[in-house]
Amino acid sequence: MRKPPPKKPSIKTTPASPINFRMPPALRARLRRFAKERNLAEAEALRLVVSEHLEEVENERELAAAERWQFKQAYATWQQYQRGEGEGRTVPWESIQQIFVDALAKRPTSEQSE
């Protein structure tokens, strides 16, 4: 006879459940000013502030992860170059200089007669 699988704890959440907490008077005054400037109720203004802050934190976390990945890729490429593994994939300095020489030669002068 099989044992029934363990029950997962069920956490009931409603789409909009009230949260009660104390807010210092100075912070409440700032919230009221924020809400009034945007023609919002205090609860809507608080939801907006929390939502925007959490989104900003998530974006910063994603950006930091992308920067770490980019740094690791650049460092790995640099290490390959140092070991001589990337010699065929590098662009000669003369070619880079020639690109700028060509671009400057094609640039229109700012002293054109009208």
pLDDT score of 1: 60
Residue 98 lies in a domain: no
Residue 43 lies in a domain: yes
In the chain, the number of structural domains is 1
Average pLDDT score over the chain: 85
Residue 102 lies in a domain: no
Can you give the residue range of the structural domain that contains 70? 25-86
pLDDT score of 13: 53
What's the pTM value of the predicted model, to 2 decimals?
A: 0.55
Integer Cα distance of 42 and 82 in angstroms: 59
CA distances from residue 83 to 70, 71, 76, 79, 87 in whole angstroms, order as listed: 20, 18, 11, 6, 9
- Contact between 23 and 13 (Cβ < 8 Å): no
Residue 14 lies in a domain: no
